[in-house]
Amino acid sequence: MPRHLLYLIVFIEGFCSLGAEVIALRRLVPHVGSAIVITAPTIGLFLLALALGYASGARVSERFTTVVARNFLLSALLVGLGLARVTVDGLFAHLQPVGVAYLLFIGGVLCPVAWLLGQTVPVLTNLMKHMRTGEASGYALYWSTLGSFLGSVSLSLLVMQWLGVSVAVLVCALLLAVGSLQLAEAGWRRWGLAMSTGLAATAINLFPPTAVLDTAYADYAVEGVSLADHTDPRAFFVNNSLASLVDDSAPPRYARYVQHLRKLLLEDLAFEGRSVLVLGAGGFTLSHQEPTNRYTYVDIDPKIREIAETRFLRAPIRGEFVVDDARRYVRATAERYDAVVVDVFSSHTSIPGHLVTREFWQDARRALVPEGVLVANLILDGKLETPYARNLLATIESVFGRCGVDVLHRGRPLSNVIVSCYASSRRGEITLYSDERNGADMDLARSR
Residue 240's pLDDT is 83
Hey, what amino acid is at 73? Answer: L
Q: Where in the chain is the domain with CATH 1.20.1250.20?
A: 3-209
pTM of the predicted protein model:
0.85
What pLDDT does 84 receive? 95
Of 292, 352, 400, residue with least CA distance to 33: 352
Secondary structure of residue 141 in the 3-state scheme: helix
- Give the residue range(s) of CATH 3.40.50.150 domains in the chain: 254-422
CATH superfamily placement of domain 254-422 = Vaccinia Virus protein VP39 (3.40.50.150)
What is the per-residue pLDDT for 104?
A: 96
Name the residue type at position 140: A
For residue 63, what pLDDT is reported? 87
Rounded distance between C-alpha atoms, residue 110 and residue 22, angstroms: 10
Give the ranges where 83-222 is alpha helix by DSSP (H).
85-94, 98-105, 111-118, 120-124, 133-154, 160-162, 165-183, 188-206
- One digit per residue, the tens of pLDDT, for the chain of length 448 reads 788 888 999 999 999 999 999 999 999 998 888 888 899 999 999 999 999 999 999 999 888 888 999 999 999 999 999 999 999 999 998 998 989 999 999 999 999 999 999 999 999 988 877 777 788 788 889 999 999 999 999 999 999 999 999 999 999 999 999 999 888 665 677 788 889 999 999 999 998 877 788 888 889 999 988 888 888 899 999 988 888 999 988 889 999 999 999 999 999 999 999 999 999 998 999 999 999 999 999 999 999 999 999 999 999 999 999 999 999 999 999 999 999 999 998 766 678 888 999 999 999 999 999 999 999 999 999 899 999 999 999 999 999 999 999 999 888 888 999 999 999 887 777 788 888 888 888 877 877 7
The 10 Å Cβ neighbour count of residue 285 is: 27
In Å, what is the CA distance from 361 to each residue of 355, 392, 404?
A: 8, 11, 15
Asked whether the beta carbons of 42 and 110 are under 8 A apart, the reply is: yes
The fold of 3-209 is Growth Hormone; Chain: A; (1.20.1250)
- Between CA 32 and CA 155 the distance in angstroms is 22
**What sign for the dihedral angle of Cα 308, 231, 264, 275?**
positive
Residue 215: C-alpha distances to residues 199, 288, 304 (Å): 22, 24, 9
